[in-house]
Structure 1
Amino acid sequence: MTAPNPGPAIAVRNLHVRRGERQVLHDISLTVPRGSITGLLGPSGCGKTTLMRSIVGTQLIEKGEVLVLDEPAGSAGLRHRLGYVTQAPSIYDDLTVADNVAYFGALYGSSAADVHGAIDAVGLGGHTGNRGNQLSGGQRTRVSLACALVANPEVLVLDEPTVGLDPVLRADLWEQFHALAAQGRTLLVSSHVMDEAEHCDNLLLMREGKLLGQLSPDELRSRTGESSLENAFLALIRMGEKL
């Protein structure tokens, strides 16, 4: 008997989030396919972080449904299967790279080999003895990524991981993201820089708490007739305003 095909890695249906009197997310529905890189793009303040927090289960929602690997977001069963990297690096300045990753690994019951593997995966094998306060901004971001990878998660949610990095470091990180996707992991990566859309298999485009579109970079170009993804995004906004 053939096993049923698994559903999407992430499924969001009719999600509404309110903070006080302000509606932050307006009836968001989307899917993220497994084993892919999906870019969540839109200007700062459009609701990307709130959506990601809803997916990892740390955001109170007004109504709607969020499933990750077919389980409700925030379920105990997802703790080892879902990794989350916040905008600000989540590491301890007084601990070394190895100790930071080992600390998070202990929370997941990871082995010493898992710790070394996570550090090597982000290209910091030569910096294991450096303390957090001795690292550059890009290296701190990589340590945060290693802390998420040490649990060997199936899904990685990365909130603007390349913000503030120089072009070379950004390119290096995207190479690592593609290597992780090639291993079968699912990545949801947010950014407010439209040229990063080129690195993604699929795009989720947001503005003012609403989802404008879910499509591939080539589909975005085809729909708008624009070759530049930044111009295509702006064209999509104008098309929505006319509806």
Structure 2
Amino acid sequence: MKHAIIMEGMVKNFQHKSVIQPLDLAIEKSGIFGLLGPSGCGKTTLIKMIVGLIKPDAGSVTVLDHKVPNEALLMEIGYMAQTDALYTELTAAENLAFFAKLYRLSKRERSERIRYAAEIVGLTSDLKTRIAFYSGGMKRRLSLAIALIQNPEILILDEPTVGIDPVLKRAIWQELERLRDEEHKTILITTHVMDEAERCDKLAMLREGTVIASGTPAALKQQYAVETLDDVFLKIGGSR
């Protein structure tokens, strides 16, 4: 299996407005793939179709050789949404334990994964704090920890570092790169931040629900004879 995710002929409309136009995209295993584009370009809609939260109006999605939706895939995908879905009356530890139980982890595995995930996102000292008292940035960090909790084969992260300070952001990216290099994870990340896009192995640039360019950051800059990804995006019509 060369590709972890394959999208063919994907189309999605909301209230007669085209959000995703006919779109084909294949994401290889064991790498960090970035979906890059401004707000409203269709990134979140696309990944929601990948994880099976919404159905495309046309086309199909295959993840790990299984057609989406497929309940078995839930064990293999760690998903971090743009909006935090947390139990605010519970502590961070209780939230993590709840999701770990959903994935049928043993008591020992739960303990190990909670410790690991909390450390990665810098929440070890705040695990006993109720989420109602968390800041927005802390909630984002906990949402990322939950996406990591079951040690999934694929991580799908929707703008995971928004609201996170630069030091922790760097640590998170170092861990994502370790997961790719040492554990051969497939990581799909959406972003509109160019320095994060530079760290991706490959990119797809989106505008108005369609892919306007794809390739490695270096190849895209070379192809369009520019020095930055900002310039690539502008040169191929990324701005309205």
- TM-score computed with the length of structure 2 as normaliser: 0.91
Q: Distance in 2 between matches of 1:188 and 1:100?
A: 24
Q: Which residue identity is paired with 2:213?
A: G
Q: Distance in 1 between matches of 2:166 and 2:122?
A: 17
Give the 3-state SS of the residue equivalent to 2:75 in structure 1: coil
CA deviation after TM superposition for structure 1 residue 160, in Å: 1.1
CA deviation after TM superposition for structure 1 residue 203, in Å: 0.3
Q: Quote the sequence identity (%).
A: 39
Query: Per-residue displacement from partner, 1:122-165 (whole Å, max 9, x unpaired)?
Result: 33223221221333333222211121211211001111112233
Q: Which residue identity is paired with 2:4?
A: A
Q: Report what 1:215 is aligned to.
A: 215
CA distance 1:123–1:176, shift in 2 (3 Å): farther
8 A contact 1:95–1:131 mirrored in 2: yes
Alignment of 1:177-196 (within 5 A): 177-182=176-181, 183-196=183-196
Q: What CA RMSD, in Å, does the superposition of the two structures yield over aligned residues?
A: 1.9
Q: Report what 1:115 is aligned to.
A: 114
Q: Report what 1:93 is aligned to.
A: 88
Query: Per-residue displacement from partner, 1:163-203 (whole Å, max 9, x unpaired)?
Result: 23343333232223222223211111101222321111110
Q: Distance in 2 between matches of 1:145 and 1:105?
A: 13
8 A contact 2:20–2:209 mirrored in 1: yes
Q: Distance in 2 between matches of 1:15 and 1:71?
A: 16
Q: Distance in 2 between matches of 1:74 and 1:122?
A: 30
Alignment of 1:35-74 (within 5 A): 35-74=30-69
8 A contact 2:11–2:57 mirrored in 1: yes
Q: Which residue identity is paired with 2:188?
A: L
Q: Report what 1:203 is aligned to.
A: 203
Q: 1:15 aligns with which of 10, 25, 46?
A: 10
Count of aligned positions: 235
Give the 3-state SS of the residue equivalent to 2:3 in structure 1: coil
Q: Distance in 2 between matches of 1:167 and 1:115?
A: 23
CA deviation after TM superposition for structure 1 residue 9, in Å: 0.8
CA deviation after TM superposition for structure 1 residue 118, in Å: 2.8
Give the 3-state SS of the residue equivalent to 2:97 in structure 1: helix
Q: Distance in 2 between matches of 1:122 and 1:114?
A: 12
Segments of 5+ residues of structure 1 without an aligned counterpart are 1-5
8 A contact 1:89–1:140 mirrored in 2: yes
Q: Distance in 1 between matches of 2:129 and 2:204?
A: 37
Give the 3-state SS of the residue equivalent to 1:199 in structure 2: coil
Q: 2:72 aligns with which of 72, 77, 87?
A: 77
Q: Report what 2:22 is aligned to.
A: 27
Alignment of 1:92-171 (within 5 A): 92-111=87-106, 112=110, 113-171=112-170
CA distance 1:128–1:171, shift in 2 (3 Å): same
- TM-score computed with the length of structure 1 as normaliser: 0.90
8 A contact 1:42–1:205 mirrored in 2: yes
8 A contact 1:35–1:185 mirrored in 2: yes
8 A contact 2:141–2:164 mirrored in 1: no
8 A contact 1:38–1:202 mirrored in 2: yes
Q: Distance in 2 between matches of 1:60 and 1:185?
A: 25
CA distance 1:166–1:120, shift in 2 (3 Å): closer
